[in-house]
Amino acid sequence: MKIALFPGSFDPVTKAHVDILRRAIPLFDKVVVGIGLNSTKPAFLDIDKRKAMLKAVFADEDKVEVSTYEGLTVEFCKKIGATYMIRGIRTVSDFEYEKAIAQMNHSLVPEIESIFIVSKPGYSSISSTIVRDIMRNNGDVKQFIPKEAFDLLQKP
């Protein structure tokens, strides 16, 4: 069984994340969306909200599972039996950063392959960081977030 992990903070999930994952799903038997908990990076949305948003967005996908984890991403891959890690690439600087991480991960656990999926041009400017900044300043993020996630943002 080909299992892949799509790790990230998903704080919040964006249309760019959804595009990468929807394009990756046909390549694998199962894709686990792993919400990484990072103690050095304070979250904007709580973990339950992020998990609910992802589950709502991918409710129609039997091959997608949403989970949370702490610690090294490669260790989580081993725990869930994933031998592939999906990473989205928006820019050249993303590639350089992700390449370095992929090489380190490969040194730690050689059987895990990183799969890079290049963002579609229309999504290359969308990042969770920018969306969070817009949200913090009461801007309209509707065009950057999937409808199912946006609907959940409107609920307390």
Question: 15, 87, 119, 128: which one is catalytic?
Answer: 128
Distance CA 14, CA 124 (A): 11
Nearest Cα to Cα of residue 31 among 54, 10, 6: 6
Residue of 15, 50, 90, 119 with catalytic role? 90
Asked if 15 and 146 count as a contact pair (C-beta separation under 8 A), the reply is yes
- Catalytic annotation on 41? yes
Name the catalytic one among 17, 50, 87, 119: 17
Quote the DSSP letter at residue 120: P
Scanning the structure block, which residue is given the tokens 């509707």?
Answer: 142
Query: 90 catalytic, yes or no?
Result: yes
Give the residue carrying structure tokens 């990076």: 41
* CA neighbor of 35 nearest in space, from 54, 20, 16, 56: 54
Question: Which entry of 41, 79, 120, 147 is annotated as an active-site residue?
Answer: 41
Q: Is 120 a catalytic residue?
A: no
Task: Check if 17 is active-site.
Answer: yes
Instruction: Quote the radius of gyration of the chain (alpha carbons, Å).
Output: 15
> Which residues are CB-contacts of 74 (< 8 A; sequence separation ≥ 6)?
85, 105, 108, 109, 112
Rounded to whole angstroms, the Cα distance separating 107 from 110 reads 6
- Would you name the residues annotated as active-site residues? 17, 41, 90, 128
